[in-house]
Amino acid sequence: MNVVVVESPAKAKTINKYLGPGYKVLASFGHVRDLPAKDGSVLPDQDFEMLWEVDGASQKRMKDIADAVKSSDGLILATDPDREGEAISWHVLDLLNKKRVINGKPVKRVVFNAITKKAVLDAMAEPRDIDVPLVDAYLARRALDYLVGFNLSPVLWRKLPGARSAGRVQSVALRLVCDRESEIERFISEEYWNLSAILKTPRGDEFEARLVAANGKRLQPRSIGNGEDAGKLKALLEGAAYVVDTVEAKPVKRNPSPPFTTSTLQQAASSKLGFSASRTMQIAQKLYEGVDIGGETVGLITYMRTDGVQMAPEAIDAARRSIADQFGNRYLPEKARFYSTKAKNAQEAHEAIRPTDFDRSPDRVRNFLDADQIRLYDLIWKRGIASQMASAEIERTTVEILADNAGQKAGLRAVGSVIRFDGFIAAYTDQKEDGEQSDDADDEDGRLPEINARENLAKQKINSTQHFTEPPPRYSEASLIKKMEELGIGRPSTYAATLATLRDRDYVTIDKRKLVPQAKGRLVTAFLESFFTKYVEYDFTADLEEKLDRISAGELNWKDVLRDFWRDFFAQIEDTKELRVTNVLDALNEALAPLVFPKREDGGDPRICQVCGTGNLSLKLGKYGAFIGCSNYPECNYTRQLSSEGGTEAEATGLNEPKALGTDPVTGEELTLRSGRFGPYIQRGDGKEAKRASLPKGWKPEDIDYEKAMALISLPRDIGKHPESGKMISSGIGRYGPFLLHDGSYANLETVEDVFTVGLNRAVTVLAEKQSKAAGGGARGGTPAALKDLGEHPDGGGTITVRDGKYGPYVNWGKVNATLPKGTDPQAITVEEALALIAAKAGKSGGAKPAKAKTAAAASKTTKTAAKPKAKTATKAPAKAKTAKTTKKSAE
């Protein structure tokens, strides 16, 4: 028996059927080990030694694989046919060698581009060794991403509070989005006019012709810049006689696009189906791994992470047969079509994305797929079949018309297209983002009636329309992926993960399918452009990608590339140690001037404080991020928060001045809606003692009325006494959302609305469910379940958590338990407050700190040994970072 290792259980099940009883197919569930997200995982001072960690779930899976290999005849590594798949095979083999279970047994590496019986059996017949250069390229990428992320991110945290992190590829992608936003802000709209004439032929047919020349001069696009000039030209056309000068009909052929690559599939699925990049890849993964088709599980498409555009010869033959059967021989070109990629730094190691069997038309498999799966499969099948079809034949007619008004002459043009033979368009019409038609699509010009040279035309109407130039559009996911591919930034497997990272870290949001940079994202980009310019340059990132590709081709040594990168990067990191906050603020004020200092409606200086009239406004860095404040602080306490849409939060919500909402009937104090550093809020009364309540997430300032303001400012809300304890149950909104409070114990509520509507019976049930879950978290006398995880302690020794104990909520770190001060909301406790409580508790008790966290090398017997003295890395990795999940695709 041979053991076969693949990545997913779905693939394992299908492949096991193909191979039969002589094989045992096991799944690794993606990567089996990864670099732990803490200091010392990559050691530049020890020739970039990498210390790997195996998590608990992977340890169990590796044990199952090792046990199977012990009693097997050999090992076959059949993970995906890309760099990450090669790396997984390398990790599995390395761990098995450390477990001493190979013992001279044959080890083979096989790859297949599709999960069909033929593809799998053919691959088994042609095994090879692990591709060492490809693994080296993986190691280089993983080390680079770690070194950038875990050295640059702490600089951000120290110099730019509120920033989340920075990454090698994500920072450049974010810069693209932010640069486009800056273009939009700088854009100055210009007026222009278009003129056209509705003309009639002697046969009574009407058509439209555009003005293209006047008074012997060719008019350039948008060359008519004002209404006065447009009026003069309109007067010329109103009194002119019209005659056809020339009619030219020209045949044009349009060729199909190649089959999909990862990026073009993501673009087409976005524009045609409205899928996000990550959703597209999820569906494609399922179609690749296999779907039950009438009792047989079979992969419907080839591997979906590729930048190759060519199909295998047998697939081309199958496509041509299907074209002849389904469309007829007229649609079959004389010779097969062959494509080459135009993407920068593309690696054509794999086929394009195509159906595994062109005879499986979308109609034949429709009943076996869900709605989204059939839509994506239909797209892939049509694009694949169209790529081998005949060209579309189009006749493009251009009519030149002369207009003469008492010696004043003008030229007009009418253009129309007629599809004489649809060719590949019968199967698939390509479409650009935002609905723009591409060269593969039917021309936007309509058909023209019969028009003959030298015949006179009758004027019906002159149209003169005013227009204004528009700024460049924001990127969508599809257009950003296309731009990254053009620049050579990132690789097919990273696009979806990169975009997801930008969203998850609140650097961008998606509004009407457009990527809108948030203030936090723009601050990070401005900081990096000012102090780490080289590392967010497009060319530098693309050149580094090219070096990584050359490593995979065996042309460069991966550690040489790391040494060259680290030398300059480390020096740049060191330089920031001398960087003062004032230097950072000056740079950000300059780089983000349109965002920080938007134009004032009264025309005044946007950098002068509108409240005191003498102070200068500037960015300030606070505990929770950047805001705008006055230089006359504390005499003038005017502040504004940066908004997501440019300008400030106050301006975005219309809250430059407090908005009166009514009077509290109990206290007689006025309720006002205001905007502060952290967003809009309700305030009752004035002065330092005034009560304030921030608007919950999802509540818009324009929707706040007196009733909502009273309900919010009156929190916490008493619901009723608990039937068992007799103590009051109340509801409120904390920093981390809505909650119930009873006798010092908290329970989360699902929505903000529940805070105002939940009744006593439901509240008792929610509290009981919370208590039951906490009790089920361990044996009697065990540690209570964590209410909140604050991340890793800066000194190591494990994470800091907030827990609910018998005597109330407390902070836990290792063996140190520090009770929260009475009245403190456990959901609102910060890391800084927790560290202070822990330090105070440890000092009083005289207890020793918990033992330093084990290194990654000691985390598993199967990982690399850390026997050597551990050299310190140049900069300390972030203390709060959580251990990364060992998923297959990293976000680079």
Residues labelled catalytic = 303
Angle at 236 between CA 232 and CA 237, to 5 degrees: 120
Cα gap 692→460, rounded to integer Å: 67
Residue 776: Cβ-neighbour burial (10 angstroms; 0-12, 13-18, 19+): exposed
Long-range pairs for 59-63: beta carbons < 8 A, 24 or more residues apart: 59/860, 59/862, 61/26, 61/27, 61/28, 61/29, 61/32, 62/28, 62/32, 62/92, 62/95, 62/96, 62/99, 62/862
Name the residue type at position 458: A
d(CA 66, CA 32): 13
Question: CA 837 to CA 146: how far, in whole Å?
Answer: 32
Contact 742/729 with Cβ under 8 angstroms?
Answer: yes
Closest C-alpha among 109, 105, 389 to residue 253: 389
CA 606 vs CA 361, 618, 653: distances in Å: 62, 10, 18
Torsion of CA 92, 3, 108, 304, to 10 degrees: -70
Characterize the bridge pairing of strands 107-109 and 74-77: parallel
Rounded Cα gap, residues 498 and 435, in angstroms? 25
Q: Is 416 helix (H, G, I), strand (E, B) or coil?
A: strand
Measured in whole angstroms, how far is the alpha carbon of residue 721 from the centre of its chain?
47
Question: 3-state SS of 208-248?
Answer: EEEEEEECCEECCCCCCCCHHHHHHHHHHHHCCEEEEEEEE
Q: What distance in Å separates the CA atoms of residue 184 and residue 182, rounded to the nearest whole number?
A: 5
DSSP category for residue 686 = S
- Which tokens is 200 given? 């009639």
Side chain identity at residue 111, one-letter code: V
> In terms of DSSP bridges, do strands 670-676 and 679-684 run parallel, antiparallel, or are they unpaired?
antiparallel
Which whole-number Å values give the CA distances from 86 to 5, 78, 79, 81, 719, in the listed order?
Answer: 12, 9, 7, 7, 59
Helix-, strand-, coil-residue percentages of the chain, each rounded to 5: 35, 25, 40
Identify the DSSP state of 857.
G
Number of alpha helices (DSSP H) and beta strands (DSSP E) in the chain: 24, 32
In our burial notation (b when 16+ CB lie closer than 10 A, e otherwise), range 78-88 reads bbbbbbbbbbb
In angstroms, the CA 496 to CA 267 distance is: 11
Q: Which residues pair with 671 in a beta bridge?
A: 662, 684
- Measured between alpha carbons, how far is 521 from 525 in angstroms, rounded to an integer? 6
DSSP 474: P
Cis peptide before 471 (omega within 30 of 0): no
Orientation angle between helical segments 538-552 and 477-487, nearest 10 degrees = 70
The DSSP code for 300 is -
